[in-house]
């Protein structure tokens, strides 16, 4: 069983956040974008499968099949759901006949009736000409698809599902490759946020001392002419109010914890796109809170940089499966 480590973010003597994570994981995130294709043949007919996937918050399968093999729709959708958890998946199966009568019949009686009627119309109009048989074949009802018998249907089902698995596997490989690039980008954004957060952490301690000095100086200047002395207790109370109003230690601890969770999920096994999206929302919430409490130009600068990085993260995680 893999070992778990519990991390605690402390604020004074209080525990403000705690998480559990696995320090060693093997797989990485997958993109929702990908493409896969495969081909195969069954007794006189060749089949070509294309599977394309794009972003979607949920799973949506769009399956397009030729009429003779429409009975495979349920099996194919189950196969797609089994292998892919998120994204809009477009599945197309194309049938390429290599025999004269693989999966269709020509209604010769209907075709003959059309030809005879055209001849009668030509005679009555006093015109003559040749009839394009190829053009007549495009008329509704002339070419009728035929369903395969039970034995043939089973052979087709096995072959189509086989090449469908091959196409899906290629799609998953492309998703994994794009996921590796996504992970590198996301981890890079987190590192920038981490660096800015450390600067804010270091800066926040000096902000309170600077405020106390400025407050004392301003009050002393105002009371100098009146020859009055500032009550130290009053000054301490004012500084304490400012310290409570501008305290960002809990926000820093929570954001630091979110960054750790985010990094762990980027390397975690499974479909983590929705969890990454949720954590990025929480990261933005903590960043906004820090901005609202900041009374220092350097902290505001760091916060603006962090918000830019979080926005990039939010945009990128929309493509994570």
Q: Are 157 and 75 in contact (CB under 8 A)?
A: yes
Determine the distance from the C-alpha atom of residue 56 to the mean position of all C-alpha atoms in its chain, rounded to a whole number. 7
Q: Please indicate whether residue 146 or residue 36 has the higher confidence score (pLDDT).
A: 36
Q: From 206, 216, 197, select the one nearest 296 (Cα to Cα).
A: 206
pLDDT digits (tens, 9 = 90+) for 241-267: 555 555 677 888 899 999 999 988 888
CATH number for the domain formed by residue range(s) 34-103+141-177 = 3.30.230
Digit-coded pLDDT (tens) for 92-132: 999 875 554 455 666 667 777 777 777 777 777 767 767 76
User: Cβ distance 184 to 28 under 8 Å?
Assistant: no
Share of the chain above pLDDT 70, in %: 68
Q: Is the pTM of this model over 0.75?
A: no
What pLDDT score does 309 carry? 93
Helix intervals (H) in 100-149: 108-125, 133-136
pLDDT digits (tens, 9 = 90+) for 226-238: 555 555 665 556 5
- Express each pLDDT in 16-70 by its tens digit: 444 343 433 344 788 999 999 999 988 778 889 999 999 988 899 999 998 778 8
Considering the chain, what percentage of its residues have pLDDT values greater than 90? 32
User: Helix, strand, coil shares of the chain as percentages rounded to 5?
Assistant: 60, 20, 25
């Amino acid at each position: 069983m893999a070992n778990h480590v519990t991390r605690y973010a402390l604020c004074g003597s209080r525990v403000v956040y705690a998480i559990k994570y696995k320090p060693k994981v093997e797989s990485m995130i997958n993109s929702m974008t990908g493409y896969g294709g495969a081909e195969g043949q069954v007794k006189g007919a060749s089949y070509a499968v294309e599977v394309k996937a794009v972003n979607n918050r949920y799973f949506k399968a769009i399956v397009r099949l030729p009429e003779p093999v429409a009975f495979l729709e349920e099996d194919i959708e189950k196969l797609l759901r089994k292998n892919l958890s998120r994204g809009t998946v477009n599945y197309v199966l194309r049938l390429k006949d290599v025999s004269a009568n693989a999966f269709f019949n020509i209604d010769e009686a209907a075709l003959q009736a059309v030809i005879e009627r055209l001849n009668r119309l030509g005679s009555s109009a006093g015109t003559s000409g040749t009839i394009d048989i190829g053009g007549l074949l495009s008329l509704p009802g002339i070419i009728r698809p035929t369903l395969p018998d039970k034995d043939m249907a089973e052979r087709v089902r096995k072959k189509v599902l086989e090449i469908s698995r091959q196409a899906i596997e290629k799609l998953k490989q492309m998703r994994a490759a794009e996921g590796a690039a996504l992970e590198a980008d996301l981890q890079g954004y987190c590192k920038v946020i981490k660096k800015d957060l450390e600067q804010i952490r270091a800066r926040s301690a000096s902000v309170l001392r600077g405020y106390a000095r400025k407050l004392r100086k301003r009050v002393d200047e105002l009371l100098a002419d009146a020859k009055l002395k500032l009550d130290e207790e009053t000054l301490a109370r004012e500084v304490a109010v400012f310290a409570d109003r501008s305290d960002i230690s809990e926000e820093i601890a929570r954001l630091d914890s979110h960054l750790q969770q985010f990094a762990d999920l980027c390397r975690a096994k499974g479909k983590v796109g929705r969890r990454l999206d949720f954590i990025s929302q929480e990261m933005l919430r903590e960043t906004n809170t820090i901005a609202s409490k900041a009374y220092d130009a350097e902290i505001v600068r760091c916060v603006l940089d962090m918000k830019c990085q979080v926005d990039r993260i939010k945009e990128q995680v929309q493509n994570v499966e």
